[in-house]
Amino acid sequence: MAKSSEPLWWFLFAGGGVVAAFLVPVHILLTGIAAPLGWAPQAFDYDRIASLTSHPLVRLYLFVLISAPLFHWAHRFRHTLFDLGLRVGRGLVATACYGTAFLGSLVAAVVLQLFLIIPVVILPFLYVGFLMAIAPPTVWRRRPLRERIREGFTQDRLLAGFFLLCGLVLLGLTGLFAFQVGMGLFGDLLGLGELRSELIQRGILTSGQSLNDFLPQLIFIPGLAPTGLLSLILALVFLWGKRR
């Protein structure tokens, strides 16, 4: 059994290292050197690249390419800071490093419009990391969960703050999308037609009225709302347990 959350970070570090070793050099050569020097101008034409990246598998590939090495970076950077003699703020540094990697992955998923990845892949990893950080599995086994909560968790509050932020951001996003979908589908029915056309004019709302136009948001909401709520609950339990 694991004695700390290190196995999870090491797993992500190794996976990211493999991705970086196999895929990154050729990508730097192609997009960073071949493209700007004009070695293959027709290959980097806008229409061609746009059609290439419109395929979901290509976007999934790009997500893995970008996200995995970020965790590799986080792990190495964290340990390098300690190797260089940093003796304070271990929790802060670890949270900042892995938090940055999670944030980067989140941004990548949104930019690549792979919204389903957020509840299905990113958040489970986030929860596992969080739970292992506040109480490694060996500790859970030795003392029952109820007892642990009553005593308060021993680790620092930063992770709780991070989770609180995650929960608030996710719930905010859910609200935003729910508002978009609601306005698009029921705006006229609720007598908010004017507000709706105003939003379309400003480009906040798409003009489509069919359900298909809101499909990404409709998929997104059921994934986001529970995870956002769970984040908040975990953070509150954590903070409350600490204070006692």
Partner 1 sequence: MRRYRRPLGPTWWLTQRAYFLFMLRELTSVFIAAYLALLLLGVYRLSLGREAYEAYLQLLATPGMLFFHVVALIAALFHTLTWFDVLPKVLVVRFGERRLPGAIVAGVNYVAWVVVSAVIAWILLRG
Binding residues for partner 1, rule: CB under 8 A, are 17-18, 20-37, 40, 42-46, 48-50, 52-53, 62, 65-66, 69-70, 72-73, 76-77, 79-80, 83-85, 104, 107-108, 111-113
Q: From CA 232, how far away is CA 67, in angstroms rounded?
A: 25
* Closest distance to partner 1 from the beta carbon of 52 (Å): 8
* Closest distance to partner 1 from the beta carbon of 197 (Å): 24
- Give the residue among 69, 70, 76 at the shortest CA–CA distance from 93: 76
* Backbone dihedral region for residue 83 (phi beyond 0: left; psi -120 to 50: alpha; all else: beta): alpha
Show Cβ contacts of residue 78 under 8 Å, excluding neighbours closer than 6 positions: 93, 94, 97, 98
* Closest distance to partner 1 from the beta carbon of 105 (Å): 10
24 vs 120 by CB, closer to partner 1: 24
* Closest distance to partner 1 from the beta carbon of 183 (Å): 23
**CB < 8 Å & 24+ apart, contacts of 50-58:** 56/114
- Residue type for 100, please? T
Q: Which residue has the tokens 């136009």?
A: 213
44 vs 127 by CB, closer to partner 1: 44
38 vs 191 by CB, closer to partner 1: 38
Q: From CA 98, how far away is CA 72, in angstroms rounded?
A: 10
74 vs 235 by CB, closer to partner 1: 74
104 vs 226 by CB, closer to partner 1: 104
* Closest distance to partner 1 from the beta carbon of 127 (Å): 24
* Closest distance to partner 1 from the beta carbon of 90 (Å): 15
Question: What string of DSSP letters covers 134-172?
Answer: HS-HHHHHHS-HHHHHHH---S-THHHHHHHHHHHHHHH
66 vs 234 by CB, closer to partner 1: 66
